Structures are given as structure tokens and as C-alpha cells.
Structure 1
Amino acid sequence: MGSGNSRELPRPESSGAKSSGATRRTAVGLILGAPLLGACAGVQQSLSQFSSPSAAGPAGPPQEPLAVGKGQVKVGLLLPLSASGNAGVAAQSMKNAAEMALAEFQNPNIQLLIKDDAGSPQGAQQGTQQALDEGAEIILGPLFALSVPATAQLTRARGVSVIAFSTDSSVAGRGVYLLSFLPESDVNRIIEYATSTGKRSYAALLPENAYGNVVEATFKQVVGRKGGRIVAFEKYGADRAGPARTVAQALGSADALFLADDGDSLVTVADALTAAGANLKNIQLLGTGLWDNPRVFASPALQGGLYAAPDPSGFRSFSGRYRAKYGADPVRTATLAYDAVALVAALARTQGPQRFSPEVLTNPSGFAGIDGLFRFRADGSNERGLAVMRVASSGGAPVAGSPKSFGA
């Protein structure tokens, strides 16, 4: 890795993995630029944010299909470019990032077929059909969970893989892989880290919503797997005071308190616990990537809490290059589009005719992207190599780095 103004452009790289017996398939590394200074935004979107488009309807007319690049390997990219509100803004930023990846990759042999799915299943189906008819060998996107099955119905009939950007694991499956920040990875990383530091008894206070339900299932699973016990578990809706009192009364027998909500809500939950008599300075607070938020860093009650998130240096570097090219900050999910395009460009160069097969995409060694190591599971979900960060008034401070490789 370079430093200062120098940076390495992404390039495919083979790395041998230690093995006893047969040679394992090599990982494809996407080597990214050196860290640049810059702010790191919140990393994980709640399930609801990108599960369905805005109810306000499309913000504008559908955008015309666009082909970018002159390579022989055609790749479909579905984004809700004409959707309203945050969805359309995110889509434009992801489109920019995808084109940036193509520009930074050295002589990629791919052509991006960019389709506006308008944030609807019908739009996704139409865009997918167009891309397949034009020869797409793999589809990147859609963003919304509701649109993924519409795409998958067409791609499975053709034996074409999909790398979608939804955070809803329920839409993953045969031939449909999610390149997104899944809550399951956060929970696994932070509980495994807490266990490694001697924590055995856990209390938890989680939101009663789709995100909270996913986090709950993984939390209970990983605590059990690591031999821990749950001494108190509550969920809250509009009323936080009652569940907070129940949890606060049980903290005397807990080593750690697990909270999983976004910035404003998390601060409100911490205030409710404090009002119920909990001394949060006397227990180790644990959280997810949603904690990567200025409101959390500014909260006195949450100082010293630990959460799992990608190492922020990769996003800082990416943001610096994006700003230099487009004159604006990227949305946090823009790295997903960048990594997806860089990944398919690397596989097109190194993996021959089987480049986008399930066997190649589910390589257990994984891939290295802007946000660190990731790999696709056979069920279509993913696993990320995350860092452990500590809440400080100046922002998140690394406590344990992200892994350099996935264990056996």
C-alpha cells in the first residue's frame, strides 16, 4: 500500500492459501488505494431502509439504459435511478462508484449494462430481461429486497448468478448472493470478541422491528454457540421505559449489555436505562455497525462501548477518490457497487469460462474489497471480516483490527 498521494489501483491478485492435501482455490484480492483522511459515515442500513422503495413514487422519468466500457464480458447493473428520495440519491452514487471502479481497474474486459429498475419489482424484471437479452453473464443488483425475487426468477432459468445489494437475508438463495452489510456479521464479530475477553453473561435490549428480529436470532445463536448465557432479554417499541427497567434490574448478573439500534434511538435507549437506575459505566456495552454515528460518539452514556464495523480506513480512501472525481461525498453503500464491479472485473480476468459460477463466487478464501475481507456463503448470505471499534467522543477508535484471512 502506498501513502500520501500515491495509491495502488485495484488489480486481481492470486494468493495461495495454506492447505494440507489438495491445492485449494486461490482467493481473488481487490487491492485498493491507501487510506486518505476523511469522515466515516454510518455503515449499516437497517433492513427497512433498503427493503422497499419510497411510497412517494418515482422522482422522475426512467433513465435510459447505458453501456459503459468496451470489454467482451457483459455485466448487468440494476439500480433504482429514477426512484424518489434517498433511494434515487443512493442509486446515483452507486452508479458513480461502479463507473469509478471500471475506470480504476487496469484494462477491464467487461462492459457494464446499466439499467434503471425504478425501485420496483416490475422495473427489476424488465431491466434484468433486457440485460440478459443483451448477453449479460452476471447481474449486479437490485438494491431493494422486493425486487430481488423478480430478478432471480429470470436469472435462474438462464443459469446466471446475481450479486444483489439488499440487506434482507431472506431474499438470498441459490444463485443469488448478497454483497451488503448484514447484521449477522456484526453480531457474530462483537459477541465472539466479547467472549474472547472473558464475557460470559449477557443482557440485551433490542428494537421490535425487522432489524431487531434478525439481530435477536443471531445473538441468541452465537451466545449459545460460545457457551455464554443470556440473563435478561427485552425488546421495545414506542415504550422504552418498561423494557429498560426490566433489563436495568438484571444488569448486576451480566458481564455485558448488547444494544442494537441507530444513533438517535440508541441514545434514547441509553437515557431510558440510566433513568431506570442502570450505571452504564459499570458494564461493557456492545453494539453493531449502526453505532457508527455522530450521535453515538457524542453521548456520554455510550463512551467506551464496543461495536463491530468495517475498518474505516478503506472508506476514507474511497471517499477521497470519489470526491476528487465527482465533487461530492458518496453514500455509504456506494462501496458495494464499487466492490461488485471490481470483483467481476477481477474474476473475468483470472477465472476463465467459469468466472461467475457458484464454485468461484463461494471461494472459501473470500475476496478483499474496500471494506475489508468478505466471502459469499452457499446460501447466498455473506460473511465479512470486521474490526472492533470503541466509542469515543472523537469517533470510533479501533480496538481489534479486521482479519487478514478467514480461518479454516
Structure 2
Amino acid sequence: MRSSLLALVTAALLLAACSEPSQTTTTAAPPKPAGPQVGSPVTASGKARIALLLPLSGRTAAIGKSLQQAAEMSLFDSGAKDIALSTYDSGETPDSAVQAYNKARADGCALVLGPLFGASASALAPQIQQGGAKVISFSNDEKAAQPGVWIMGIAAPPQVRRVVDYALSSGIKRFAVFAPQTAYGDQMGRVLQDEVVARGGTVVAIEQFAPQSLDMTAAAKRVAASVTGDSKLAILVPIAPPQLSAALASLSAADIDTSKVQLIGTGVWDISGIGSEPQLRGAWYAAPDPDKRADFERRFVATYGRPPHRLATLAYDGVALAAQLARLKPGGDFSTEAITNPAGWSGVDGIFRFLPDGRSERGLAVIEIQGNRNVVVSRSPSSFGQSPTN
């Protein structure tokens, strides 16, 4: 009996021991963060890390090199002691731009300047939505614009609105469009239509032709039919050389009375030698004030021994902007609120500001083509809210 009782007690103790929770404490390892490890956005000396994404390889490497040199010049001119600038080759494809962005992000960049192409900028959106560094692209493609991806390039729609507004203020109330049948041509027609109607003018014709055609006679004749009465007609011709020559010849062959027509254009005319087209004498287009750019070009040639690419001013102004953001507080302020400051920023290409949806606004001048020289007939505003001056 005594041995049986002992066995029962022993069994009960064993069962109790099995049902008791363990008193051993273990510490679980912290979960590893998802994605690549990100470095510090600030260097050991307290400078904000800024990434410059440029096409330094491929067919557009020369453009990328010119932008890189302009960025270096801006770094020196602005005395940017608060930023550390690192350049990454974004290549020519969206995939290579994403790879460059990821490397820059892994290095800890606080802000990305570039890439140059709209498709590459669009491809970075998923990384930014996951908490990556914000992007100020050098593209002018408004389709690439979105929250966190701003376009700094000089987009075409604001150019059309600016030159249309100037024409309206000059007393012209009737407008026509002569453009290629492309996405660009379609967009220019819609922008002009919206702006003219909103301002009380009339669009009498929107004529388009095959994109690669050199015979635009039929479309030009339809435009010519709109040149009636005594009121002057402004014709938007958003066409770049060399196709521009054929477009102008077609308009001339349609017997358009040039005394009753004002040709207007976009920034595709903002190139050296555009005045060699005699039919463009007196034509207007909107672009940044050329005087400020001329000074930049002189200093660039003195520094590097050759003229800059036309887009080089974007990299120059982008670095200057990054330097200003870096001075707002220790480590810099690269938030959406800081970047989209309503007062905007000023650079070689005039004043500009970024909108929350990724688009940008610019203060543009209106320029008249006068043979071998272009003359500003309406100066760009010096601040937002100020009316342009003639």
C-alpha cells in the first residue's frame, strides 16, 4: 500500500511538472528590415547626400556629360557647403535608371536630381511610394509628373499658354493650329483650345498632317481658308527643324496672306539659327529669358572650353535648388512642403515652382524672331503673382 501511494504521488508530480509553463526566457531576434539597407542621408561631416542621375553611357552620354559639368559648376558657384553630390549613370532605359536610383538610395541619398528621360522618371515611382528619396527629374514630360516625382524640364503646355496670352493681350482673338498628327501635336492643339476659349478668343481651325510628311499642302490649304476678314489670325506651328522648313513652305504655297497672320511657336524654336527661316521673321515663341542663359553659356565655355547642351541649365539650377533646401535646417529639408514652396525658386532659366501633383510652373518670356537675332518682346516675371511686362 505504501509503495503504491508513493508511485501515485510521484506520477502526480511528474504530470504537474509537464503542465507547468517553462520558466526559461528567450529573446527573439529583431525582424530584418525588408529591402536593401539604406545608408545615412548625411555624411560624417554633416552634409546632405544628393544623387545626380544622368545618362553617362549610350547614345546620349554627351548630353549627360554636359549636364554633369553644369552641376559641378553650380556646386562651385553656389558655394554649396551643405551638400555632397554623387553622380550615377542612369543609362538610357527605365531599368538602368531604377538600378542607379537603388544604388543611390542604398548610399543614403536624401534627394535625387534626374533622370533625364520621362519614362525613366516614371519608373522610379514605386520606389518613392515605398519611402524612397524624392525625385526632381530633368524631363519636361508632364505625363511623368506625380507626387514625389517632379519634372523640372520646361514643359510645352506652359509655353503655349504664355504665347497665346501674349497674342490675346496684343489684340489677336482668332487662332489656328498647324501641327503633326502625334501625341505632342494633339496636346498642343488641346492646350491652345482650352486657353483661347477660357480667355474669350476663338479657335477657327486645328489642322494636322502625317508625322513624317514633307508634303503638308492639303492641311495648309485648310488653314488658309480660315484667314478671312480683317481680323488677324495667330497660327500655332509647334514644329522643330528640319521639318519646320517644309511646314513653312506649305503654308506659303497655300497663299496665306502673311500680313494677316501671326506665327507663334513653342520652345522647339528656341535654338541657334532659327532666324535663318525668312518666313519666321516677326514670329513669337515663349522660352526662358535668353540674356540670363547667355551669361551661363559664356562661363561654361570659359570653364570647359566648349558650349553646354541646351538642357545643361536644368542641372545647374537643380543643384542650386538642392543647396537651398539643404540650408533650411540641419541635414536639409527635402520634404514635399519644402520643395513645393509656393514662392518658388529662381535660376538661370528664370523663376520656377513645383506643384503637389509633380508638374512645374515657370515664368517665361515671349521672344520675337528678327533675322539673325531674337528679341524679348515681353519679359518674364520676376516672381509668381507678378504680371509679365512688355
Q: Fold match, TM over 0.5?
A: yes
* 1:158 Cα deviation after fit: 1.5
2:276 partner amino acid: A
What does residue 76 of structure 1 align with?
A: 51
Larger Rg, first or second structure (1 or 2): 2
The residue correspondences of 1:251-270 to structure 2 (distance < 5 A) are 251-253=227-229, 255-270=233-248
Q: Deviations over 1:350-393 (max 9, x none)?
A: 35567211111111111111010111111111111111111111
Q: What TM-score comes out, normalization by structure 1 length?
A: 0.79
Structure 2 SS opposite 1:355:
coil
Change in Cα spacing, 1:78 to 1:294, as seen in structure 2 (3 Å) is closer
Change in Cα spacing, 1:289 to 1:181, as seen in structure 2 (3 Å) is same
Instruction: Kindly indicate whether the alpha-carbon contact (under 8 Å) linking 2:344 and 2:354 is maintained by their aligned counterparts in 1.
Output: yes
Distance 1:368 1:406 in 2: 11
* 1:201 Cα deviation after fit: 1.1
Determine which of 324, 339, 348 is the counterpart of 1:346: 324
What does residue 319 of structure 1 align with?
A: 297
Distance 1:69 1:213 in 2: 51
* 1:255 Cα deviation after fit: 2.7
Determine which of 217, 220, 232 is the counterpart of 1:244: 220
* 1:294 Cα deviation after fit: 4.5
What does residue 213 of structure 1 align with?
A: 186
Distance 2:45 2:300 in 1: 22
The residue correspondences of 1:166-245 to structure 2 (distance < 5 A) are 166-237=139-210, 238=213, 239-245=215-221
Distance 2:372 2:380 in 1: 21
Instruction: Kindly indicate whether the alpha-carbon contact (under 8 Å) linking 2:227 and 2:260 is maintained by their aligned counterparts in 1.
Output: no
Q: Deviations over 1:176-208 (max 9, x none)?
A: 000101001100100111111121111111122
Distance 1:322 1:255 in 2: 41
Instruction: Kindly indicate whether the alpha-carbon contact (under 8 Å) linking 1:98 and 1:341 is maintained by their aligned counterparts in 2.
Output: yes
Q: Deviations over 1:123-159 (max 9, x none)?
A: 1111111111111111111111221122222122125
Distance 2:238 2:153 in 1: 18
Structure 2 SS opposite 1:375:
strand
Q: What TM-score comes out, normalization by structure 2 length?
A: 0.83
2:261 partner amino acid: I
Instruction: Kindly indicate whether the alpha-carbon contact (under 8 Å) linking 1:263 and 1:294 is maintained by their aligned counterparts in 2.
Output: no
Q: Deviations over 1:295-322 (max 9, x none)?
A: 5312221211111111101111111111
* 1:107 Cα deviation after fit: 4.2
Change in Cα spacing, 1:89 to 1:281, as seen in structure 2 (3 Å) is farther
Structure 2 SS opposite 1:260:
coil
**How many equivalent pairs are there?**
339
The residue correspondences of 1:3-402 to structure 2 (distance < 5 A) are 72-84=47-59, 87-237=60-210, 238=213, 239-253=215-229, 255-351=233-329, 355-402=333-380
1:342 partner amino acid: A
Instruction: Kindly indicate whether the alpha-carbon contact (under 8 Å) linking 1:262 and 1:293 is maintained by their aligned counterparts in 2.
Output: no
* 1:277 Cα deviation after fit: 1.0
Structure 2 SS opposite 1:344:
helix
When the two chains are superposed, the root-mean-square deviation of aligned CA atoms in Å is 1.9
What does residue 51 of structure 1 align with?
A: none
Structure 1 residues not aligned, in runs of 5+ = 1-67
2:129 partner amino acid: R
Instruction: Kindly indicate whether the alpha-carbon contact (under 8 Å) linking 1:267 and 1:296 is maintained by their aligned counterparts in 2.
Output: no
Change in Cα spacing, 1:150 to 1:257, as seen in structure 2 (3 Å) is closer
Distance 1:274 1:156 in 2: 52
Instruction: Kindly indicate whether the alpha-carbon contact (under 8 Å) linking 1:74 and 1:112 is maintained by their aligned counterparts in 2.
Output: yes
Distance 1:145 1:159 in 2: 18
Single out whichever of 71-80 and 171-180 deviates more from structure 2.
71-80
Single out whichever of 385-394 and 210-219 deviates more from structure 2.
210-219
1:180 partner amino acid: G
Single out whichever of 202-211 and 392-401 deviates more from structure 2.
202-211
Distance 1:352 1:359 in 2: 16
Change in Cα spacing, 1:141 to 1:107, as seen in structure 2 (3 Å) is closer
Distance 1:107 1:166 in 2: 24
Instruction: Kindly indicate whether the alpha-carbon contact (under 8 Å) linking 2:54 and 2:68 is maintained by their aligned counterparts in 1.
Output: yes
Distance 2:291 2:317 in 1: 15
Instruction: Kindly indicate whether the alpha-carbon contact (under 8 Å) linking 1:287 and 1:308 is maintained by their aligned counterparts in 2.
Output: yes
Structure 2 residues not aligned, in runs of 5+ = 1-42
Structure 2 SS opposite 1:328:
coil
Distance 2:207 2:63 in 1: 34
What does residue 30 of structure 1 align with?
A: none
